[in-house]
C-alpha cells in the first residue's frame, strides 16, 4: 500500500467506525460530545505500539492521556504539568497511572549511550537511574532482562517525580488526591504488570501523606 493510500485508509476507517457506532447507538456521539469525566489519567510512552485503550478494552471518555518518549515526568515540563493540573483539579480523576513498557527504545538508547541530540537530553534522567542502580543492573546477565528492569525502575522514579509536583502537593494538602499506580506493559504477550510502590518509604520521605492508602 502506498503512503497516500495508507493515509486515505485512515479516513475511510474513521468513516466506517462512525457508521458502525451509529448503527448500534444513534445517540452515541451526541452523548460523547456532552463532556468528559474520566476516572483515569494515563502517562505513558509515545511508542506507536501502545494504544492503552486497546490494551485495556476502554472506551472513549474513560482515560485522559499524556504520552512522551519513555514516559518521563519533569518538574519543568509545562505540557505534562498542564495535563496533570487539569486532570486532578478539573476532571478530578481517581487514579493516575504511569506506564512504561519492555522493549522501550528510549530506555535502551539511554542505557547504551546511543541517544542523539534532543533524545539524549530527554532521556538523561534514565541514565541517572541506571547509574544509581548499577550494581543491581550489572547482576542481571541478560541484556534484555536488564533493560526490562531499568524500564521498571524508570516507572517508579517517574511516580516519585509526580509526587514532587506542586499539583500533587496541593492535592495531598487538601486530602483530595488520586491513587497512584505503576505499570509496565509487555508487548511480547500484551499483559500489563502492576509494579509495587514503596508507599511507606515515600511517606517517611514526605512524598506521600501519612493518610495515603493504596
Q: Per residue in 63-112, pLDDT tens?
A: 999 999 999 999 999 999 999 999 999 999 999 999 999 999 999 999 98
**CA diameter of the chain:** 59
pLDDT (0 to 100) of residue 1 = 65
Q: Which of 25, 49, 53, 173 is catalytic?
A: 49
Active site residue 45: yes
pLDDT (0 to 100) of residue 58 = 96
State yes or no: pLDDT of 160 exceeds 80: yes
- Are 185 and 101 a contacting pair, CB within 8 Å? yes
State yes or no: pLDDT of 180 exceeds 90: yes
Average pLDDT of the chain to the nearest whole number: 95
Q: Which of 66, 101, 127, 157 is catalytic?
A: 101
Active site residue 104: yes
Active site residue 163: no
Q: Which of 47, 99, 157, 163 is catalytic?
A: 47
Distance CA 54, CA 132 (A): 35
Distance CA 12, CA 7 (A): 9
pLDDT category of residue 21 using cuts at 50, 70 and 90: very high
State yes or no: pLDDT of 24 exceeds 90: yes
The number of C-alpha atoms within 13 Å of 1 and in the hemisphere containing its C-beta is: 8
Active site residue 49: yes
Rounded mean pLDDT, 167-171: 97
pLDDT (0 to 100) of residue 115 = 64
Amino acid at each position: 500500500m502506498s503512503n497516500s493510500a495508507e493515509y486515505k485508509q485512515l479516513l475511510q476507517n474513521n468513516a466506517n467506525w462512525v457508521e458502525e457506532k451509529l448503527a448500534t447507538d444513534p445517540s452515541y456521539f451526541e452523548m460523547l460530545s456532552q463532556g468528559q469525566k474520566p476516572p483515569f489519567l494515563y502517562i505513558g510512552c509515545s511508542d506507536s505500539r501502545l494504544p492503552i485503550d486497546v490494551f485495556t478494552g476502554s472506551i472513549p471518555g474513560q482515560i485522559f492521556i499524556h504520552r512522551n518518549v519513555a514516559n518521563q515526568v519533569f518538574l519543568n515540563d509545562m505540557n505534562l504539568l498542564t495535563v496533570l493540573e487539569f486532570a486532578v483539579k478539573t476532571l478530578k480523576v481517581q487514579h493516575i497511572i504511569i506506564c512504561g513498557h519492555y522493549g522501550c527504545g528510549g530506555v535502551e538508547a539511554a542505557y547504551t549511550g546511543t541517544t542523539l541530540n534532543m533524545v539524549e537530553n530527554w532521556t538523561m534522567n534514565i541514565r541517572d537511574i541506571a547509574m544509581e542502580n548499577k550494581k543491581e543492573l550489572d547482576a542481571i546477565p541478560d541484556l534484555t532482562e536488564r533493560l526490562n528492569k531499568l524500564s521498571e525502575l524508570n516507572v517508579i522514579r517517574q511516580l516519585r517525580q509526580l509526587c514532587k509536583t506542586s499539583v500533587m502537593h496541593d492535592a495531598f494538602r487538601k486530602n483530595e488526591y488520586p491513587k497512584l499506580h505503576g505499570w509496565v506493559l509487555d508487548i511480547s504477550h500484551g499483559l500489563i504488570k502492576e509494579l509495587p510502590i514503596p508507599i511507606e518509604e515515600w511517606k517517611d520521605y514526605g512524598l506521600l501523606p501519612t493518610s495515603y492508602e493504596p
